């Protein structure tokens, strides 16, 4: 009898006995219990990692769903009309009209609120020139307005069953109201009916005047866009000419009015500011 040895997958040798009439006799391999235990341990570890990945994925999906419900569907962050603040309404914008636009969206969660579309609707409120809408967490909105403040009063004839009155215009020539009598402090504008260029010239001049000089203007007339004339509240007439070089004309008029040599003058012609005339 002879013996041969061959390695097995588990590192143990298999001994083969040969001899005799029965042929080779193979001895069963001896498997290490330590190797089997390690194999089973690795299999358990892989299953544990897989379960953890599934659990973490499920938890992440649940958290995302919960946040989505909290932000977009739940009442936690809904708009409450009592928490809406309106700033800059001025003297012509009706705050209740602005609030009425916002109230349509009461109960809408703030993250879902279309502030751009809401701003566009606020701009449709009479007297609003510009608007900005921002969220005020957790339940409010802040609406900041730039109102179309009147800078001039233009006489209007009677119409539609109403008596004569005055149209109130802002710096862009947009009518922001109508009153029976010219408001105190607003200059009355007299321009040819339908002459938009003359009206634009008057409004451009008024827009550029400093506050102290604007407060002195009682009336402004313009037969054409190049013949603007202002009447001050103390009875002084100022021939302004066109709307060009307004800053220089302001400086010249201020200097002339302060000069002792022109005291008593009732007409100041600054239409050619480098060659002013007083009389």
Structural domain ending residue among the three candidates 117, 147, 177: 147
Say yes or no: 160 and 232 in one domain: yes
Residue with more model confidence, 45 or 127: 127
Please state the pTM of the whole predicted model. Answer: 0.66
Residue with more model confidence, 178 or 6: 178
- Residues spanned by the domain of 245: 152-278
Decide if pLDDT at 23 tops 90. no
Decide if pLDDT at 181 tops 60. yes
Tens-place pLDDT, residues 39-53: 778 878 888 887 788
Say yes or no: 58 and 89 in one domain: no
Say yes or no: 274 and 170 in one domain: yes
Give residue 260's pLDDT band: very low, low, confident or very high (50, 70, 90): very high
Mean pLDDT to the nearest integer, 140-163: 90
Give residue 101's pLDDT band: very low, low, confident or very high (50, 70, 90): very high
User: CA distances (Å), 207 to each of 131, 177, 242, 243, 252, in order?
Assistant: 21, 19, 14, 10, 18
Tens-place pLDDT, residues 208-223: 999 999 999 999 999 9
Tokens representing 238 are 């100022």
Residue with more model confidence, 94 or 51: 94
Q: Tell me the C-alpha distance between 102 and 97, whole Å.
A: 9
What CATH number corresponds to the domain at position 96? 3.10.20.310
């Amino acid at each position: 009898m002879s013996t041969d040895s061959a390695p097995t997958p588990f590192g143990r040798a298999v001994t083969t006995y040969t001899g005799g009439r029965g042929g080779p006799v193979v001895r069963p391999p001896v498997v290490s219990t330590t190797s089997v235990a390690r194999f089973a341990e690795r299999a358990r570890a892989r299953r544990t990692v897989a379960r953890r990945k599934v659990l973490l994925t499920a938890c992440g999906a649940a958290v995302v769903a919960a946040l989505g419900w909290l932000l977009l569907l739940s009442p936690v962050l809904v708009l409450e009309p009592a928490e809406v603040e309106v700033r800059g309404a001025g003297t012509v914008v009706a705050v209740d009209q602005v609030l009425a636009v916002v109230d349509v969206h009461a109960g809408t969660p703030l993250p879902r609120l279309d502030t751009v579309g809401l701003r566009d609707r606020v701009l449709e409120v009479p007297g609003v020139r510009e608007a900005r809408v921002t969220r005020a967490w957790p339940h409010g909105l802040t609406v900041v307005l730039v109102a179309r403040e009147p800078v001039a009063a233009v006489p209007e004839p009677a119409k539609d069953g109403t008596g004569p009155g005055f149209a109130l215009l802002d710096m862009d020539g947009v009518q922001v109201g109508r009153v029976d009598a010219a408001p105190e402090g607003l200059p009355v504008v007299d321009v040819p009916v339908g002459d938009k260029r003359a009206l634009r010239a008057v409004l451009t001049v008024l827009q550029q005047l400093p506050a102290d000089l604007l407060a002195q203007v009682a009336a402004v007339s313009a037969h054409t866009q190049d013949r603007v004339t202002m009447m001050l509240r103390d009875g002084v007439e100022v021939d302004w000419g066109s709307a060009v070089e307004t800053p220089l004309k302001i400086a010249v008029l201020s200097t002339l009015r302060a000069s002792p040599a022109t005291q008593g003058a009732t007409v100041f012609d600054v239409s050619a500011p480098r060659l002013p005339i007083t009389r």
